[in-house]
Structure formats: structure tokens, C-alpha cells
Amino acid sequence: MVSRGGGQPPDRHRSADRRTDALTGGTRMTNAKEHPKLAQIRALLAKAEATNYPEEAEALTAKAAELMAKYGIEQALLDDGRAGGDAPIDRKITIANPWAMERVMLINRIALAMGCELIHLGRIGNGPSRLVHVFGFESDVQRVELLYTSLLLQMHSSLAAQRVPVGERARAWRRSWLLGYISRVGDRIEDAERRARQEASGQVTATGRSAALVLADRKAVVTRRYRAAYPRTRKARATTFTGTGYGAGWAAGGRADIGGHRIGRTAAAALIS
């Protein structure tokens, strides 16, 4: 759910949670201990970006999305019963403007698809930025951050290239476009995660437990930690929109790379300028 109340007021989060980043305007989306598989995914998508052949780019992107989902399953199985392995964590992330609320919706879809829990804590002080709190195992939170950062850039770059149809209100059309994009991208991520779980259904860990049991236990741990931190929550209001951009956004979301992307300084600066 995007909005779950009853949590710590946004302006009381620790200063350590407020490292600034050029792309997000908030928490830095990097990890010095990045897994080699994630580096492989980045390299695969870099190759997809460099090719001039759409068919090759599509194949490389599909492979990257597949690897991203499988990585999450592999980490869960490898760390089952292993001391000092993948641990449950929580992280507060500042979501900056423009379109801060729509960005919250994007990261929420990604987090839930990847086995995490997310609460939207609202605005930070009187400013436009918003705060979310993500709960999950470290490898899954890292996947969420990587994919959110990638899709954020892709989403805004694609939106900037759109022409608002004559007679449409620009802001309403762009918002409906964003909602269509987020809906389609979220569906694709969920499908990739579901396929990875199905393919791993016959695997067992070193402790003899099935993949399904391991993943269910991890989800239960994450949910308990989330509910302990936020015992009283409420559902977000249903999202409504005007404008005819939803279909165009949905189509663009179907073309987005959902395995992660390199984020260069120039591209990041262009996004927030």
C-alpha cells in the first residue's frame, strides 16, 4: 500500500537517512557491496543501450529482467540458515519533486513486487518532497533501489519526449501518462518475479527447505518488522486522474528496461533541471 499512517513523523527521521543524491534529491541509491550478478545486469543493459538493432536490445533487456528476478531467489536460497547472511533491514528514502507522489507510486509497486513492504510517511516538513520507509531483506531492498533509480530516469526521459495533444490540459495529461506508465511497469515486474518463483519451485536449500517455504518465511519476517514499526495504518485513497495520456504511458511502460540501468551524472542532472 502506498499510504499507511500511524508512523513516525517525517521530520524526525535521522540525519543519516538524508544523504542527498543528484537523481532522487534524497537518499543515495548506491551500495558499495554490490553483488557481481547486479554488475552483470548493469553490463547487459549497457550493451542493450549501445546497440542500433531493436531486436537485439529487446532480447538483452528481457534477459536482464530475468536475471534481476532470479538474483532475488538465489540470494534467498543461498542465505537460508546461514549465519551472517542476507538480513532484514529497513531504509527511509526521500522522494523529491517533480511528480513526487507519482514517484512514490512507482517505488511502491517495485517494493511490493520484490517482497518488501513500504509505507508512505507523507511530506517532509512544509516542502514538496515526500518520505517512504522500506522494509525488506538487504538483497531485495538493494534490488528495489537499483530498479527504482533506473525506472525513474527512464520514466522522466520518456515523459519529456511526449507532446501533449491539442486541447488537453498539460499537467492532467502528463499525470495520466505517468499513471499508465507506472501501472504497466509494475505489472511487468510482478510477472518477472512470478516466473522466477515458479522456475525455482523445485529447488531446495542446504537445510532441505523448499524455495516456496523460504520465500514465505522471508515475507513473514518482513511483514512482522513492518507491523511492529507501524501497528496502525490506513489504506491510500483510490487514485483518480483526468486526461487521455494513460494509454500512451501504458505503452511506454511496456518498452521500459526493467532490469536496471547505468545512471550517469549528465542524465541525472538533466532529470532534475
Residue 146 has pLDDT above 60, yes or no: yes
**For the range 192-196, what are the long-range contacts, defined as Cβ-Cβ under 8 Å and sequence gap of 24 or more?**
192/65, 192/66, 192/68, 192/69, 192/258, 193/69, 193/72, 193/113, 193/114, 193/115, 195/66, 195/69, 196/66, 196/69, 196/70, 196/72, 196/73
Residue 74, domain extent? 10-256
Residue 80 has pLDDT above 60, yes or no: yes
Is 93 within a domain? Answer: yes
177: helix, coil or strand? helix
Most confidently modeled of 49-63, 108-122, 173-187?
A: 108-122
71-86 average pLDDT score? 83
Backbone angles phi, psi at 33, to 5 degrees: -100, 40
- C-alpha distance from residue 25 to each of 13, 89, 93, 268 (Å): 16, 22, 10, 10
pLDDT for position 38: 81
Is 2 within a domain? Answer: no
pLDDT for position 89: 97
Residue 208 has pLDDT above 50, yes or no: yes
231-236 average pLDDT score? 75
d(CA 1, CA 165): 32
Is 266 within a domain? Answer: no
Lowest pLDDT segment from 69-78, 120-129, 152-161: 152-161
Is 195 within a domain? Answer: yes
196-215 average pLDDT score? 89
The domain total for the chain is 1
d(CA 258, CA 63): 10
Is 269 within a domain? Answer: no
162-172 average pLDDT score? 88
